[in-house]
Amino acid sequence: MIRRCRLCAEDDVLIPQLTLDGSSAFGEPFTLSRCEECGAWQVDPPLSLDFIHSYFQAPERWRISHDPEGRPVDPAERAAARQGEYTKYASALINSLEEVGRVVDIGAGAGVMLSLLPDSFQRIAVEPHPDAAEAASRLGLTVMREWAENIDFPSESLTCLIMNQTFDHLRDPSGFLARAVHWLKPGGLLLLTGLINPDGLMPRLYGPGFRLWHPLYQIYPPPGAMVMVLGSHGFEVLRWWQPYFGTPYGSLKQLLLNIPEVLCRMMGKGRGQLSPAWPGNTYSLLARKTLLLQPLKDPARQGQGRALDPRMLAHPSSG
Ligand SMILES: [Zn+2]
């Protein structure tokens, strides 16, 4: 069987890294492999599309869920708690868009992100979950109850595509990007948020205890992998964020409380099994469709996905 990277689509490049036991929220063991070409980690073998869809469409997905510490979180509260983070993305979108037009948010949830854009935009929420879709339509958004894998739009009909904490749940992100680039007008924007960096400090320190390993995150792309793969599809990254402060999990107080545990861990003496929330665990990016395709195998770019170029995140806009 060909083992293809689901981010860069190269064949026979996956090397197993970690097998997680059944103690996660998922309750089943799963293995994470890393792509030698782009550096993206991914659930290996991938879950079936039916399984992923039934997970996200389950009624309880739009009721109370549990964070990695097992605390119950109401979905509306969770979305509202991220309003500060979303406002930064909305402001960057408005400032970077070259024209008012059609903006689509795939996996829009209750539509909070889209609702922060002016109603001069045609705002379309693509959301399969019935309760979330109903909440989005109450905000005055156009709602399409559809999955990312099934949705389609006319060529060059969108000015912006948003995937707010959605992209890394796709079973085939590479195939999705290949389709989605055609929907955007030249100069159109792509916003991807909540991507998990497997090369960050916490995964390296805690290994299997990294709090964000979960098989419903299908891929874990390092920032360098996203630059490389987006470039191969004709996107140029304009901005980066590290959303820690302003999320439900991050505050200066919490960071200061966590520092002693992390320092102990760095000296090989850590007590905690589960890594704390930490700046750099996740990142978001805004990219523009340029139509300048960057070859994946350009020798000058070779291996760029394997490590984070520190210049890329030297000046994060938040966190
Ligand atoms: Zn790859």
Cα(172)–Cα(232) distance, integer angstroms = 16
Cis peptide before 46 (omega within 30 of 0): no
Of 62, 193, 50, 188, nearest to 136 by C-alpha is 62
Ligand 1 geometric centre to CA of 6 (Å)? 7
Q: Which residues contact 134 (CB under 8 A, 6 or more apart)?
A: none
User: Which chain residues have CB less than 5 Å from ligand 1, an ion?
Assistant: 5, 7-8, 35, 37-38, 40
- 81 phi, psi to nearest 5 deg: -65, -20
**Ligand 1 mean position, distance from CA 39 (Å):** 6
Residue pLDDT tens, the chain, 319 long: 668 999 999 999 999 999 988 665 567 789 999 999 999 999 999 999 999 999 888 877 776 667 767 777 777 677 777 888 899 999 999 999 878 899 999 999 989 999 999 999 999 999 999 999 999 999 999 999 999 999 999 999 999 999 999 999 999 999 999 999 999 999 999 999 999 999 999 999 999 899 899 889 999 999 999 999 999 999 999 999 998 887 777 888 889 998 988 898 888 886 668 899 999 999 999 999 997 667 776 555 444 444 444 334 433 333 3
Classify the C-alpha dihedral 250-251-257-263 as positive or negative: positive
pLDDT at residue 309, as a whole number: 43
Q: How far is the CA of 238 from the centre of ligand 1 (A)?
A: 22
pTM, two decimal places = 0.88
